[in-house]
Amino acid sequence: MHTCNPPDALRAVNAFVLSSDRAVEAANAKTEYSINELASEFSLTHRALRFYESRGLLSPQRIGRRRIFSRQDRDRLALIIKGKKLGFTLTEISEMVEAQAGRASQHGLKLTSEKCHEQIAHFERQIAEANEALAELRRIDALFRSQITDEKGTEHKAS
């Protein structure tokens, strides 16, 4: 199941490089993945992977009923998860995948850039709202603390 805390596997995506370690380097050496391996690595369900495939975001090879995902599919999946975490829709993520692959038009790049700016503004608003809420909670807490009776029975009033 997908969570908001991305797995270590996301570190391998070029567009969102966070850091490098031996486990990621070992994963990078692999070129084919089963649906079980990707589901486990990214904490997703098989259904989610099949859904991304149906939306054209992943293109595994089919050997009978078995899906074989490529290194490119794995990298795309990491980008999909990172995009979802950052608040992008699957359509927007699809445009980002195209941009990363060098297939985006100038118009598509402009729209993707604009969406990034919108998400930045959205998160900045959320941060400002959270800071306001924290300040209010601290003010309320200080008010309550000032009215708490200490161990000697002395009541502390707000000044």
Q: What's the rounded Cα separation, in Å, for the pair 109 and 80?
A: 17
With cut-offs at 50, 70 and 90, classify the pLDDT of residue 16.
very low
| pLDDT tens digits along 21-45 | 545 555 567 889 999 999 999 999 9
Domain with CATH 1.10.1660.10 in the chain: 8-103
Q: What's the rounded Cα separation, in Å, for the pair 84 and 90?
A: 8
- pLDDT value, residue 30: 86
Q: What's the rounded Cα separation, in Å, for the pair 114 and 123?
A: 14
- pLDDT value, residue 129: 98
Instruction: Please list the alpha-helical segments (H only) found in the chain.
Output: 22-29, 35-42, 46-54, 71-85, 90-100, 106-147
Q: Do the Cβ atoms of 83 and 93 come closer than 8 Å?
A: yes
> What residues contact residue 149 under an 8 Å CB cut-off, 6+ apart?
155, 156
Question: Mean pLDDT, the chain, as a whole number?
Answer: 81
Note the pTM of the prediction, 2 decimals.
0.63
- pLDDT value, residue 112: 78
Kindly report the CATH class assigned to 8-103: mainly alpha
For residue 93, is pLDDT > 80? Answer: yes
Q: What is the mean pLDDT of residues 79-106?
A: 85
Please provide the size of the chain in residues. 159
- pLDDT value, residue 28: 63
CB half-sphere exposure, 78, CA atoms < 13 A: 22
